[in-house]
């Protein structure tokens, strides 16, 4: 069973012609309602739940008081650009609290017995650090939900797999010294894309050493490269780590039609990763990050959800991609990761 967490209020984070705008969620919801009809709580083929906004206390488990104060005041004073690409409108702070709360609500649904729960929210979160908004992100939604779980439930070990085209530097930094959070990110080589971090040698610090695993793929890498790396690395690492709780951090900007990256994933990748993770983690929370080609993201999202519903009708049956064509750089990257992480994991 998969449930969605969504609020129409996300439209009140008004970013105009910015690539991260409400049109992204609107088209995703349009595809979903076309497929499943009206989405209602505990209703038809797929149910939908409103998010409960995160409390200030929830936010303070991750973010500094000065960061939260700055976001709040900046928005209340009319908003504008916080940096060269991160925008707040007058209601953005309140909406960011709903987006963070959406991640918490999704976690509660999974703990309440749903196999999968998916927070379709904006603004996204994975670039936001404890004290800085950046990369379209204000509050780190996933980190807030994770700290909420740690505080309110008897859970110790968390796994995050982030396949957004960009490195989730905020999430990585927040948990960089934490051996109980394994952050795995596959993203475009940061020499060639924002945020310029996320190299293999960034492995974590102190007790967290070995728990930050980066797979920076070269521009032009596609579905074969992703499947090759994730099969060779993800499966052994996930099995050895034995998390109590799983997050899939979802970014559709890794799609070949996306205007903000130079990756070549096709529609097959998203159902593949969903089915792969479904086998490794019987329960999982999905959290939306980027994706800027509206049609590609709405299409891929629907296919991914159909796999997690475990009900693929014959006409939309998805077959895993056939023979993999893997770039030499990708094979070299596997060797590099294998060497660097051999003290921590067996591949
Ligand atoms: Zn991204």
CATH number at residue 258: 3.40.800.20
197-219 per-position pLDDT tens digit: 999 999 999 999 999 999 999 99
Ligand 1 centre and the CA of 274: distance in Å? Answer: 18
Look up the pTM and report it: 0.96
Strands across the sheet containing 245-250 = 47-49, 2-5, 116-119, 284-288, 245-250, 158-162, 181-188, 212-217
Structure tokens at 311: 């009900």
- The Cα 291–Cα 164 span in angstroms is 8
**Does any domain span residue 78?**
yes
Per-residue confidence (pLDDT) for residue 319, from 0 to 100 = 67
CA 255–ligand 1 middle distance (angstroms): 11
Nearest to 274 by CA among 246, 241, 251, 248: 248
pLDDT tens-digit profile of 79-132?
A: 999 999 999 999 999 999 999 999 999 999 999 999 999 999 999 999 999 999
One of 13, 127, 166, 255 is an active-site residue; which one?
127
Q: In what helix (H) or strand (E) does residue 247 lie, and over which residues does it extend?
A: strand 245-250
126 domain-assigned: yes
Does residue 346 form part of some domain? no
pLDDT beyond 60 at 293: yes
CA of 200 to the centre of ligand 1 (A): 18
Residues of the chain with pLDDT > 90: what percent? 87
Instruction: Give residue 124's pLDDT.
Output: 98
Q: State yes or no: pLDDT of 42 exceeds 80.
A: no
153 is catalytic: no
Tell me how many domains the chain contains.
1
The owner of tokens 């700290």 is 147
Is pLDDT above 60 for 314? no
Is residue 157, in this structure, part of any structural domain at all? yes
Residue 329 maps to a domain: yes
Residues 6 or more apart whose Cβ sits within 8 Å of residue 178: 207, 208, 211
Rounded distance from Cα 125 to ligand 1 centre (Å) = 10
> Once rounded to an integer, what is the mean pLDDT over residues 54-78?
98
List the structure tokens of 194: 């924002």
Which residue intervals of 112-234 are DSSP H helices? 141-152, 169-174, 223-229
Q: pLDDT-derived band of residue 152, with 50, 70 and 90 as boundaries? A: very high
Residue 347 domain-assigned (yes or no): no
Residue 290 Cα to ligand 1 middle (Å): 4
Domain residue limits at 302: 2-341
């Amino acid at each position: 069973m998969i449930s969605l967490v969504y609020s129409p209020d996300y439209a009140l984070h008004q970013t105009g012609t910015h690539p991260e705008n409400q049109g992204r969620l609107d088209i995703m919801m349009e595809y979903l309602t076309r497929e499943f009809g009206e989405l209602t709580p505990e209703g038809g083929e797929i149910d939908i739940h409103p998010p409960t906004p995160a409390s200030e206390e929830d936010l303070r488990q991750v973010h500094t008081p000065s960061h939260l104060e700055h976001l709040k005041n900046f928005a209340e004073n009319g908003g504008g650009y916080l940096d060269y690409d991160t925008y707040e409108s007058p209601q953005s702070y309140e909406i960011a609290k709903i987006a963070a709360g959406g991640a918490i609500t999704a976690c509660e649904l999974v703990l309440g017995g749903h196999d999968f729960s998916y927070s379709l929210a904006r603004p996204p979160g994975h670039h936001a650090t404890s004290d800085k908004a950046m990369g379209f992100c204000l509050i780190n939604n996933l980190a807030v939900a994770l700290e909420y779980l740690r505080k309110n439930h008897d859970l110790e070990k968390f796994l995050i797999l982030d396949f957004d085209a960009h490195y989730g530097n905020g999430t990585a930094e927040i948990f960089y010294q934490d051996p109980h959070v394994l952050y795995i990110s596959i993203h475009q080589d940061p020499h060639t894309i924002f945020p310029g971090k996320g190299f293999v040698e960034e492995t974590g610090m102190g007790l967290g050493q070995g728990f930050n695993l980066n797979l920076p793929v070269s521009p032009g890498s596609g579905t074969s490269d992703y499947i090759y790396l994730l099969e060779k690395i993800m499966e052994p690492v996930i099995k050895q780590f034995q998390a109590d709780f799983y997050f899939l951090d979802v970014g559709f900007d890794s799609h070949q039609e996306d205007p903000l990256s130079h990756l070549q994933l096709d529609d097959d990748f998203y159902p593949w990763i969903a089915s792969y993770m479904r086998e490794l983690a019987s329960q999982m929370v999905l959290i939306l990050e980027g994706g800027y080609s509206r049609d590609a993201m709405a299409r891929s999202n629907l296919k991914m959800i159909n796999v997690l519903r475990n009900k693929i009708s014959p006409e939309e049956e998805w077959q895993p991609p056939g023979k993999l064509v893997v770039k030499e750089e990708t094979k070299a990257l596997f060797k590099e990761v294998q060497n660097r992480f051999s003290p921590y994991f067996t591949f």
